[in-house]
């Protein structure tokens, strides 16, 4: 059934990601281009419950495409997990005469959007904003490329001190329970080993590969470890290596939240802009309950149910390539 959408609300939810502001800018300006009113919702679903909304225009998003984080702020809302909280959010949307909602976030954001759409038959389209890149329905999520670039710059700097002191560095990167950041940034930075949850790592073989013979007599080594792995974090793995080789100088660096900040890369600005326009145009095509993503450089709309129920596969062939390049 065709919907007469005149006013669109937009929010950012969950963890922040570089490029969210670029997506917001695209939503605002596409809305203006197509003659729609757009209002910003502050602090994600929590702001929706509290009615923290403000009308925006094209000038409201001037000079934000280069900024990290999100000018709308974000939070994880416990209230939106309850029926009463979602009802309050719906009432606030109707009170402000909002006809449709665009949500920018990750897996949890889309799970909440799915429930909300089903309960109130309210038009919603999502944009994939997360550094983890763990959402099916798109080749890359907004923020992933910038996070990988941040890791690469850090590893490049660590390599200097590792080689100067003949050290083995274990560098822990984010990703929750997936290894996309570790895998992509690890091979781009030229590290010796990569440890991710999706790939079975034999700890005995890993330790053996870090022996001087295993390293082809290299004096130093870099190991990128994704958080949430079977054998623990980078510190846990480093301890096991230290037990096997007590004379080795091992160090651990946890990059942490620097991966979520910073000015978004060219790739993140570009895909966020394309996705933001696609979200508005999706409503013009009477779409709802879908995420606007990019696969093979083409805009695609994938149902929320497929996004939250279909794990995104990781290209394990990169391990084979990394083994070849780390001889």
Please tell me the distance from the alpha carbon of residue 174 to that of residue 227, in angstroms, as a whole number: 6
Mean pLDDT of 126-143: 97
Q: What pLDDT, on a 0 to 100 scale, did the predictor assign at position 36?
A: 97
* Cα dihedral: 159, 161, 167, 169 (round 10): -50
Mean pLDDT of 172-200: 93
> Per-domain residue ranges for the chain?
7-143+264-309, 146-260
Q: What pLDDT, on a 0 to 100 scale, did the predictor assign at position 253?
A: 97
Catalytic residue numbers?
Answer: 132
pLDDT-wise least confident of 104-113, 209-218, 270-279 = 209-218
Q: Is the CB of residue 316 less than 8 Å from the CB of residue 67?
A: no
Q: Could you give the percent of the chain with pLDDT greater than 90?
A: 83
Q: What is the pLDDT of residues 256-306, one digit of tens each?
A: 999 999 999 999 999 999 999 999 999 999 999 999 999 999 999 999 999
Q: What pLDDT, on a 0 to 100 scale, did the predictor assign at position 311?
A: 92
On the question of a common fold for 7-143+264-309 and 146-260, the answer reads: yes
Mean pLDDT of 30-41: 97
From residue 79, how far is each of 46, 51, 53, 110, 240 by CA, in Å?
A: 7, 13, 17, 16, 42
Q: Which long-range contacts (CB under 8 A, 24 or more apart) does 235-244 make?
A: 235/170, 235/172, 237/170, 237/195, 237/203, 237/206, 238/168, 238/170, 240/203, 240/207, 241/168, 241/170, 241/206, 241/207, 241/210, 244/207
Give the homologous superfamily in CATH for domain 146-260.
Phosphofructokinase domain (3.40.50.460)
Mean pLDDT of 161-186: 93
Pick the more confident residue, 188 or 165: 188
Q: What pLDDT, on a 0 to 100 scale, did the predictor assign at position 1?
A: 43
- CATH architecture label of 7-143+264-309: 3-Layer(aba) Sandwich (3.40)
Give this prediction's pTM.
0.95
Q: What pLDDT, on a 0 to 100 scale, did the predictor assign at position 23?
A: 98
Asked if residue 181 has pLDDT above 60, the reply is yes
| pLDDT range class, residue 216, cuts 50, 70, 90 | low
């Amino acid at each position: 059934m065709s919907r007469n959408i005149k006013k669109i609300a937009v929010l950012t939810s969950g963890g922040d990601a570089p490029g969210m502001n670029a997506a917001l800018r695209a939503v605002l300006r596409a809305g203006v281009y197509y003659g729609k009113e757009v209002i910003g919702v502050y602090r994600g679903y929590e702001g929706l419950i509290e009615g923290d909304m403000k009308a925006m225009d094209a000038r409201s998003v001037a000079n934000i495409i280069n900024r990290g984080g999100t000018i709308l702020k974000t939070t994880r809302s416990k209230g939106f997990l309850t029926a009463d909280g979602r009802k309050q959010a719906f009432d606030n949307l109707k009170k402000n005469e909002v006809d449709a909602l665009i949500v920018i976030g990750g897996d949890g954001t889309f799970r909440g959007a799915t429930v909300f759409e089903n309960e109130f038959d309210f038009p919603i389209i999502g944009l994939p904003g997360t550094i983890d890149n763990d959402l099916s329905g798109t080749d890359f999520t907004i923020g992933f490329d910038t996070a990988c670039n941040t890791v690469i710059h850090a590893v490049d700097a660590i390599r200097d001190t590792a080689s100067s002191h003949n050290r083995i560095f274990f560098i822990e990167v984010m990703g929750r329970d997936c290894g996309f950041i570790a895998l992509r940034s690890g091979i781009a930075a030229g590290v010796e080993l990569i440890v991710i949850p999706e790939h079975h790592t034999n700890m005995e073989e890993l330790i053996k590969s870090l022996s001087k013979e295993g390293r082809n007599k290299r004096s130093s080594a870099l190991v990128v470890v994704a958080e949430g792995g079977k054998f623990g974090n980078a510190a846990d793995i480093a301890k096991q290596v230290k037990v096997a080789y007590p004379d080795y100088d091992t160090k651990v660096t946890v990059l942490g939240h620097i991966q979520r900040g910073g000015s978004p890369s060219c790739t993140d600005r570009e895909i966020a802009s394309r996705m933001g326009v696609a979200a508005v145009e999706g409503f013009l095509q009477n779409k709802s309950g879908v995420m606007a993503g990019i696969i093979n450089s083409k805009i695609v709309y994938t149902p929320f149910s497929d996004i939250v129920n279909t794990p995104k596969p990781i290209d394990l062939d990169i391990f084979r390539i990394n083994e070849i390049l780390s001889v």
